[in-house]
Structure 1
Amino acid sequence: MAADFSSLPILDFAFISDNTRHSEFIAQLRHALINVGFLYLKNHTVPQPLIDRLIDFIPRLFDLPQSAKDDILMSNSPHFLGYSRLGTEFTKGKADYREQFDFATPHETQWRPGAPVHLRVWGPSQWPNPVLIPDFRETIENYLKEVQALSYQFIRLLAEALGLRSDALAKFYDSDDLMQHRAKVIKYPANDGSLTNQGVGPHYDAGFLTFLLQASPHPGLQVQNLSGDWIDAPPIPGTFVVNIGKALEFVTRGLARATSHRVLSPPVSSTPRYSVPFFQNISLNTCLSQEVLDFPPDILKLKDQRGHPAQTDSVNFTEFDREPSGKVNLIGRIKSHPDVAERHYPDLFKEYFPDGLPQHISTY
């Protein structure tokens, strides 16, 4: 087995423009994809002044009057976009001690009556009252546009690192007008542990890539290594934490590794931890089980050298072998947000919650 990791690798995005160091970046990326599933990315393309503006907005967003936040509750949205109150999501039966807003890149839903229901999972965001927080929407939409561009550039490098043509993964995306990528703005308040010490419990991400902005200096993010030990991933200014989702793991037949992770709440004497994960989606209609990627033998053998990661109890995604990506996405959101499902997807709600709204919600 390859040596287990005790910290996350730090990759310098500037290397890709340096002919003498491009291959070094690709080798480092290959190692991170196959053996770790997580990495820090520095010197990326998202302008730091834009990041700083977004970070400045985050406390003000959560300091809005409760009535203003409740005006855009996620339960209003069939697209699972909007505000979630503290402690309303659960992972593995325990409350996630976080408050959050879900936003997304601009998209007009493609769903119409009679169309596959999973097309309805994408659509317009709900936005807070601009009188109360002027320029916030423009700032975060510009931020999402920049991270989206970085994510597409990064996926080409990822393909190169796995021995494929740089455009080999392009078939998993639709044209820009048919795509939507999502983000959360999250507040992890200080927690005395009386309810739970988990900001969010052990889980995997669903899609291809996640780009996480750790927007305050608080530690808390932990990544599970091959042996099952929890490794700290503290904030490093000027970086994103990038990780692999279950869809990419599935389509690469486990070559790229999705890695279990969690967030611990800040201690009771702390200020809140803030973060902004960006989730890069793939086409709602793509069926990963029907797509085959052929990797060079010298790349495939790296998976065997890695060995098998320890078993985890992290929440997982198991339908990629039989459902289109959008249906897998929708099932996960139905299970995470049954209040939204009951209002907007009554048939699926009855399928997954035949006894009605559960007392506790289990994040999928």
Structure 2
Amino acid sequence: MPLLHVPIIDIEPFLQGDDRAKRAVAAEVDRACRDIGFLIISGHGVAPELLARMRAVSNAFFDLPMPDKLRVAQPAKDVTRGYIGIEQESVGRSRDATATAGDLNESLMIGPVDAVDPAYAAAPAAGKHFAPNLWPEAPAELRDTFSTYYREMGQLATQLMRIFALGLGLDEHHFDTSVDKHISRLRVRNYPAQSETPVPGQIRAGAHSDYGSLTILATEDKPGGLQVFNAAGEWVDVPIVPDCFIINIGDLMARWTNDAWVSTLHRVVNPPADAGAASRRLSVVFFHNPNYDAEIRCIPTCTGDAPKYPATTSGEHLRTLFVATQNA
């Protein structure tokens, strides 16, 4: 029977253990990625204090007056930097082009924080993936905190890709050269308490799958949360476990594995109408994306009868989806 709920997996044995311990963790992760595409990880080694600082500076930013937030507004649809306001985006449009209702959240996003080879960053194929970050003037500690968290998530993502490689029957370092100049995004979403009734079909984040290799999510146990569409055709709540991260794979990882692993639909639902201020929710999301020139082609252990998808690159795939999800 496939997993119908999101499992909790302790990855510390992989980070600290011998080859046998690593393979045991990888086997658990492989099953989760095949069955439901989501897992919750403990034993990741990220300090709780860092996440607490992220929440504090993020809430302080979203509490600023709107003119202050708009000083770092996203400059263009294909530049994934800066502030996006409530209802300006509809992530459900990546799966359903007719979806028009904007999502009931606002967000602030950054990209790579450390310099790479200038020639690599400026090459035509790089597009806008190394665009400069837009840093608000306040709170003063936001830039340092976001940058530290981005680097920490990048390191964790590298370890998760190594777990993935073992789970797929590959050498542990198979993906290393595809993610050593990753174009990941750190995006913090604020889901405000809802003072007005949403229009029909409008929720906090519409049903969608993520675009890249994997997502690392830290969120809060508050009304109106994350749901996953499981193999039985049911929407199930994702539990919030203290000091753990929610991990899911994205469309590129599904392509890499010839759909042996599933990039699962998920959404963020509205809180009950009477939830009030207690329903304000903050999500800290790290979207891990491979190097823009990484070729995404079916890996050898997942070919099956034949590859389902033509080869693509990480950068081109992401660029088209970023534009598709935003409202005019």
TM-score where L is the length of structure 2: 0.86
Root-mean-square deviation (CA, aligned residues, Å) is 2.5
8 A Cα contact 1:78 1:120, kept in partner: yes
Residue 285 (str. 1) matches residue 293 (str. 2): yes
What's the CA shift for 1:107?
5.2
Matching residue of 1:9: 7
What's the CA shift for 1:58?
2.3
Residue 273 (str. 1) matches residue 273 (str. 2): no
Q: 1:96 to 1:168 in 2, by over 3 A?
A: same
Q: 1:322 to 1:161 in 2, by over 3 A?
A: closer
Deviations 1:54-74 (A, max 9, x none): 122222110012111010000
State how 1:34-73 maps to structure 2 within 5 Å.
34-73=34-73
Q: 1:120 to 1:21 in 2, by over 3 A?
A: closer
Amino acid at match of 2:87: G
Q: Distance in 2 between matches of 1:274 and 1:53?
A: 13
8 A Cα contact 1:53 1:139, kept in partner: yes
8 A Cα contact 2:4 2:231, kept in partner: no
Q: 1:82 to 1:71 in 2, by over 3 A?
A: same
Q: Distance in 2 between matches of 1:128 and 1:102?
A: 11
Instruction: After the TM superposition, list the runs of 4 or more consecutive aligned residues in structure 1 that deviate by more than 6 angstroms.
Output: none
Q: 1:169 to 1:21 in 2, by over 3 A?
A: closer
What's the CA shift for 1:79?
2.5
- Partner SS, residue 295 of structure 1: helix
What's the CA shift for 1:76?
5.9
- Partner SS, residue 34 of structure 2: helix
Q: 1:117 to 1:40 in 2, by over 3 A?
A: same
What's the CA shift for 1:189?
1.8
- Partner SS, residue 61 of structure 1: helix
1:139 to 123, 145, 150: 145
1:190 to 176, 188, 193: 193
- Partner SS, residue 315 of structure 2: helix
State how 1:1-364 maps to structure 2 within 5 Å.
3-16=1-14, 17-19=16-18, 21-75=21-75, 79-90=79-90, 91=92, 92-106=99-113, 110=120, 112=122, 115-116=123-124, 118-129=126-137, 132-173=138-179, 175-176=180-181, 179-191=182-194, 192-195=196-199, 196-215=201-220, 217-268=222-273, 269-270=275-276, 271=278, 272-288=280-296, 291-295=297-301, 321=310, 323-337=312-326, 361=328
Q: 1:75 to 1:167 in 2, by over 3 A?
A: same
Gaps of 5+ in 2: 93-98
Q: How many residues align?
A: 309
Q: 1:194 to 1:77 in 2, by over 3 A?
A: closer
Q: Distance in 1 between matches of 2:192 and 2:176?
A: 39
TM-score where L is the length of structure 1: 0.78
- Partner SS, residue 193 of structure 2: coil
8 A Cα contact 1:220 1:234, kept in partner: no
Deviations 1:18-54 (A, max 9, x none): 4474443222112111111100001212111111111
Deviations 1:283-325 (A, max 9, x none): 212332xx3422289xx79xxxxxxxxxxxxxxxx9x736432
- Partner SS, residue 267 of structure 1: coil
Q: 1:33 to 1:77 in 2, by over 3 A?
A: closer
What's the CA shift for 1:94?
2.2
